[in-house]
Amino acid sequence: MAEACEIEVVVFDILGTMVDEPGGLRTAIRDALPTSDDASIDQLLTVWQEHVEHEQKRIADGSRAYANSEIIDREAAQRVADCAGLIDPAATERLATASQRLSPWDDSLAGLTRLGRSFPVLGLSHASRATLLRLNAHAGLRWHQALSTEDAQVHKPAPEAYRLALDAAGCPPEHVLMVAAHAWDLRGALAVGMRAAYVQRPGGDPPERRDTFDWRSNGLDELATALTAT
């Protein structure tokens, strides 16, 4: 278990942790298919999520060359359109860019600002550089530095993704804290020696009994209190 005084830099996952990715994608699908009912929207969201997960796994195991999130999102949007019978190219294209327009969770902006007063704060996302630029602007996320794993041609949880953050931090990994709502993401950070803090979010990946994360919190305000307490 790390002590707060040991932490020099805080790194945040973005999709799902700082912004409501499932809710934003659901809204984008509903906008493209306004006559669909809730059950159909949920099914189409699953189509999207399963495609992204499958393709990222294929890239990780070497059965597909690296493709950034824009390419995979466009494929996912086309799969949703095909499943729903959507034939409007403009609507499908707008759906493909939904990840650029995700909303922050209620505590994200205040929590990021609060922690940013005490630590350098980095964003680390497998969103492409262009997507990340527009998403940060849309959501109002203000980082000291925002990193895309596109720079390493990988998706998390590949070790090279976290090493981007460690290189930027410029300090030993045990002094760098990874914050995420996804246990799989935190396991990837731990594998390269980083510290880990789980933040509960709807639709996240909760820890299992075997997980030994340094902090677990219900939100960013709780985590900020733990990290900044003197």
Residue 227's SS3 state is: helix
CATH no. for residue 190?
Answer: 3.40.50.1000
Strand pairing report for 145-148 and 121-125: parallel
Task: Give the pLDDT of residue 95.
Answer: 98
- The full length of the chain comes to 230
Q: What is the mean pLDDT of the chain?
A: 96
Q: What is the pTM of this model?
A: 0.95
Contact 161, 183 (CB under 8 A): no
For tokens 């009912």, name the residue. Answer: 37
> Among residues 60, 80, 101, which one ends one of the domains?
101
Edge-first strand order for the sheet with 215-217 is 145-148, 121-125, 9-13, 176-180, 195-199, 215-217
How far is the C-alpha of 128 from the C-alpha of 27, rounded, in Å? 21
| Claim to verify: residue 57 and residue 123 sit in the same structural domain | no
| Claim to verify: residue 171 and residue 73 sit in the same structural domain | no
Residues forming a β-bridge with 177: 10, 195
How far is the C-alpha of 53 from the C-alpha of 9, rounded, in Å? 29
Burial of 100 (0-12, 13-18, 19+ CB in 10 A): buried
pLDDT at 191 over 90: yes
Q: Give the tokens for residue 220.
A: 């960013």
| Claim to verify: residue 38 and residue 118 sit in the same structural domain | no
pLDDT tens digit sequence for 80-121? 999 999 999 999 999 999 999 999 999 999 999 999 999 999
DSSP state of 64: S
Contact 227, 4 (CB under 8 A): yes
| Claim to verify: residue 85 and residue 107 sit in the same structural domain | no
pLDDT tens digit sequence for 43-72? 999 999 999 999 999 999 999 999 999 999
Structural domain total, the chain:
2
Number of continuous H segments (helices) and E segments (strands) in the chain: 9, 6
| Claim to verify: residue 114 and residue 206 sit in the same structural domain | yes
| Claim to verify: residue 55 and residue 123 sit in the same structural domain | no
State the residue range of the domain holding 201.
4-20+102-228
| Claim to verify: residue 26 and residue 15 sit in the same structural domain | no
CATH no. for residue 60?
Answer: 1.10.150
Strand pairing report for 121-125 and 9-13: parallel
Strand (E) or helix (H) holding 177: strand 176-180
